[in-house]
């Protein structure tokens, strides 16, 4: 499994309970497929750099997790078809990767 960061922007008109339900659902997608959610950070409502679907604000959330390719494709699919998700981006978490290599026992060269 590799470490990833995911930032997704939700519709600003969602109620607090709906935002929590969405976040829990996305976390459950990762954990139900043997992935590990390390951190979920709700940044709250922020002004967008440019309008998306005539919206000028969005609810930003950062999720750090470890997963395999199957989980990534499922998350991308769910994000694409969920109308409440305005944008999403999943990238490799380089900080987590370098931390894993630094923690590797001497002589292994950080190879997994």
What architecture (CATH level 2) is domain 2-54+67-88? 2-Layer Sandwich (3.30)
> In whole angstroms, what is the distance from residue 30 CA to residue 26 CA?
7
Q: Identify the pLDDT of residue 26.
A: 94
Threshold 0.95, pTM exceeds: no
> In whole angstroms, what is the distance from residue 90 CA to residue 26 CA?
13
Residues 8-36 have pLDDT tens digits of 999 999 999 999 999 999 999 999 999 99
Residues 89-102 have pLDDT tens digits of 999 988 765 455 54
As given in the structure block, the two tokens for residue 91 are 């990238």
Residues 30-81 have pLDDT tens digits of 999 999 999 999 999 999 999 998 999 999 999 999 999 889 999 999 999 9
For the chain, the structural domain boundaries read: 2-54+67-88
In this structure, the dihedral spanned by the alpha carbons of residues 9, 87, 18 and 39, taken in order and rounded to 10 degrees, is -60
């Amino acid at each position: 499994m590799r470490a990833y960061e995911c930032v997704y922007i939700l519709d600003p008109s969602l109620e607090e309970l709906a935002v929590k339900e969405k976040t829990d659902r996305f976390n459950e997608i990762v954990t139900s497929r043997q992935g590990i959610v390390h951190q979920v950070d709700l940044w709250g409502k922020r002004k967008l750099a440019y309008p998306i679907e005539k919206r000028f604000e969005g609810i930003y959330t950062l999720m750090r997790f470890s997963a395999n390719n199957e989980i990534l494709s499922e998350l991308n699919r769910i994000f694409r078809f969920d109308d409440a998700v305005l944008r999403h981006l999943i990238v490799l978490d380089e900080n987590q990767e370098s931390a894993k290599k630094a923690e590797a026992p001497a002589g292994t060269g950080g190879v997994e």
